[in-house]
Protein backbone atom coordinates (compact mmCIF):
# COMPACT_ATOMS: atom_id res chain seq x y z
CA UNK A 1 0.00 0.00 0.00
CA UNK A 2 1.25 3.47 -0.82
CA UNK A 3 2.46 5.68 1.99
CA UNK A 4 2.33 8.97 0.07
CA UNK A 5 0.15 10.62 2.72
CA UNK A 6 2.08 9.43 5.76
CA UNK A 7 4.41 12.44 5.78
CA UNK A 8 1.76 15.03 4.94
CA UNK A 9 0.82 15.84 8.53
CA UNK A 10 4.45 16.20 9.57
CA UNK A 11 5.17 18.57 6.69
CA UNK A 12 2.45 21.04 7.70
CA UNK A 13 3.89 23.99 9.62
CA UNK A 14 2.43 24.83 13.02
CA UNK A 15 0.48 28.06 12.96
CA UNK A 16 2.28 30.51 15.19
CA UNK A 17 -0.87 32.53 15.82
CA UNK A 18 -2.70 29.71 17.52
CA UNK A 19 -2.81 29.72 21.27
CA UNK A 20 -1.57 26.16 21.50
CA UNK A 21 1.34 26.75 19.11
CA UNK A 22 2.48 29.93 20.83
CA UNK A 23 2.43 28.43 24.35
CA UNK A 24 4.06 25.14 23.45
CA UNK A 25 7.66 25.11 24.53
CA UNK A 26 7.54 28.39 26.44
CA UNK A 27 8.96 26.81 29.59
CA UNK A 28 11.77 25.22 27.56
CA UNK A 29 12.65 28.54 25.92
CA UNK A 30 12.63 30.32 29.28
CA UNK A 31 14.83 27.65 30.79
CA UNK A 32 17.29 27.93 27.89
CA UNK A 33 17.51 31.69 28.48
CA UNK A 34 17.96 31.12 32.18
CA UNK A 35 20.73 28.63 31.47
CA UNK A 36 22.46 30.94 29.01
CA UNK A 37 22.64 33.82 31.43
CA UNK A 38 23.64 31.83 34.54
CA UNK A 39 27.24 31.41 35.67
CA UNK A 40 29.01 28.08 35.08
CA UNK A 41 28.55 26.83 38.63
CA UNK A 42 24.81 27.34 38.43
CA UNK A 43 24.67 25.83 34.93
CA UNK A 44 26.30 22.72 36.35
CA UNK A 45 23.64 22.47 39.05
CA UNK A 46 20.87 23.09 36.46
CA UNK A 47 22.17 20.28 34.24
CA UNK A 48 22.50 17.91 37.17
CA UNK A 49 18.88 18.56 38.09
CA UNK A 50 17.64 18.22 34.49
CA UNK A 51 19.39 14.95 33.66
CA UNK A 52 18.56 13.25 36.97
CA UNK A 53 15.12 11.92 35.85
CA UNK A 54 16.48 10.65 32.53
CA UNK A 55 18.05 7.34 31.69
CA UNK A 56 20.90 6.64 29.27
CA UNK A 57 18.61 6.16 26.29
CA UNK A 58 16.82 9.45 26.99
CA UNK A 59 20.11 11.32 27.17
CA UNK A 60 21.33 9.75 23.94
CA UNK A 61 18.14 10.74 22.12
CA UNK A 62 18.31 14.44 23.03
CA UNK A 63 20.31 17.05 21.16
CA UNK A 64 21.67 14.60 18.58
CA UNK A 65 23.45 12.70 21.33
CA UNK A 66 25.22 15.75 22.77
CA UNK A 67 24.36 14.74 26.34
CA UNK A 68 25.97 11.30 26.07
CA UNK A 69 29.17 12.88 27.44
CA UNK A 70 27.38 12.87 30.79
CA UNK A 71 27.13 9.07 30.80
CA UNK A 72 29.55 6.80 32.59
CA UNK A 73 30.88 3.73 30.77
CA UNK A 74 28.47 1.63 32.83
CA UNK A 75 25.50 3.59 31.47
CA UNK A 76 24.62 5.66 34.50
CA UNK A 77 24.67 9.44 34.65
CA UNK A 78 27.81 10.87 36.22
CA UNK A 79 27.97 14.18 38.02
CA UNK A 80 28.13 17.12 35.64
CA UNK A 81 31.50 18.88 35.32
CA UNK A 82 31.85 22.62 34.82
CA UNK A 83 33.47 22.02 31.42
CA UNK A 84 30.43 20.01 30.33
CA UNK A 85 28.07 22.79 31.39
CA UNK A 86 29.89 25.24 29.12
CA UNK A 87 29.70 22.99 26.07
CA UNK A 88 25.94 22.87 25.46
CA UNK A 89 24.10 25.43 23.32
CA UNK A 90 20.82 27.10 24.24
CA UNK A 91 19.07 25.04 21.56
CA UNK A 92 20.33 21.80 23.09
CA UNK A 93 19.25 22.93 26.56
CA UNK A 94 15.81 23.89 25.21
CA UNK A 95 15.46 20.44 23.66
CA UNK A 96 16.53 18.84 26.94
CA UNK A 97 14.00 20.99 28.82
CA UNK A 98 11.16 20.02 26.44
CA UNK A 99 11.94 16.35 27.02
CA UNK A 100 12.29 16.73 30.78
CA UNK A 101 9.01 18.69 30.91
CA UNK A 102 7.24 15.62 29.54
CA UNK A 103 9.05 13.14 31.78
CA UNK A 104 9.33 15.08 35.04
CA UNK A 105 7.89 18.62 35.15
CA UNK A 106 9.02 18.92 38.77
CA UNK A 107 12.63 19.00 37.59
CA UNK A 108 11.96 22.23 35.70
CA UNK A 109 10.35 23.73 38.78
CA UNK A 110 13.42 22.76 40.81
CA UNK A 111 15.68 24.54 38.32
CA UNK A 112 13.55 27.70 38.53
CA UNK A 113 13.64 27.57 42.34
CA UNK A 114 17.40 27.02 42.22
CA UNK A 115 17.85 30.20 40.18
CA UNK A 116 15.62 32.25 42.47
CA UNK A 117 17.38 30.94 45.58
CA UNK A 118 20.85 31.70 44.20
CA UNK A 119 21.11 35.47 43.62
CA UNK A 120 24.91 35.31 43.28
CA UNK A 121 24.77 33.09 40.20
CA UNK A 122 22.14 35.11 38.40
CA UNK A 123 21.60 38.72 37.46
CA UNK A 124 18.36 40.68 37.58
CA UNK A 125 17.44 39.60 34.05
CA UNK A 126 17.99 35.97 34.94
CA UNK A 127 15.95 36.31 38.12
CA UNK A 128 13.05 37.72 36.11
CA UNK A 129 13.32 34.84 33.63
CA UNK A 130 13.30 32.39 36.55
CA UNK A 131 10.15 34.04 37.88
CA UNK A 132 8.50 33.80 34.45
CA UNK A 133 9.49 30.13 34.25
CA UNK A 134 8.01 29.44 37.69
CA UNK A 135 4.76 31.17 36.70
CA UNK A 136 4.60 29.24 33.42
CA UNK A 137 5.13 25.94 35.20
CA UNK A 138 2.47 26.82 37.77
CA UNK A 139 0.00 27.47 34.93
CA UNK A 140 0.87 24.17 33.24
CA UNK A 141 0.44 22.29 36.53
CA UNK A 142 -2.94 23.93 37.14
CA UNK A 143 -4.10 22.84 33.69
CA UNK A 144 -3.08 19.26 34.42
CA UNK A 145 -5.02 19.29 37.67
CA UNK A 146 -8.12 20.67 35.94
CA UNK A 147 -7.79 18.11 33.13
CA UNK A 148 -7.48 15.24 35.64
CA UNK A 149 -10.47 16.53 37.62
CA UNK A 150 -12.51 16.64 34.41
CA UNK A 151 -11.48 13.09 33.52
CA UNK A 152 -12.30 11.84 37.00
CA UNK A 153 -15.72 13.50 36.89
CA UNK A 154 -16.44 11.89 33.52
CA UNK A 155 -15.75 8.36 34.74
Task: Specify whether the CB–CB gap between 44 and 85 falls below 8 A.
Answer: yes
Is this prediction's pTM over 0.85? Answer: no
| 120: CB partners within 8 A, 6+ apart | 39
> Average pLDDT of 117-130?
62
Tell which residue, 13, 89, 82, has the closest CA to residue 44: 82
As a whole-number percent, the residues of the chain with pLDDT over 70 amount to 63
Q: Is 65 left (phi over 0), alpha (psi -120 to 50) or beta?
A: left
Task: Give per-residue pLDDT as tens, 47-82.
Answer: 999 988 988 888 888 988 898 888 877 766 667 888
pLDDT-based confidence at 12, cuts 50/70/90? very low
> Average pLDDT of 93-105?
91
Looking at per-residue pLDDT, the higher value among 26 and 77 belongs to 26
Q: What are the CA-CA distances from residue 67 to residues 70, 90, 126 (Å)?
A: 6, 13, 24
> Average pLDDT of 33-55?
88
Cα radius of gyration (the chain): 18
- Tally the residues of the chain: 155
Amino acid sequence: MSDEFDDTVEALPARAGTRRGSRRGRAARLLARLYGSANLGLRTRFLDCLVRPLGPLGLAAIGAGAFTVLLSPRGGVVSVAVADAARFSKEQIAELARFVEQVSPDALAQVAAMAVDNPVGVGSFTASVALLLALELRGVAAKRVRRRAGQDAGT
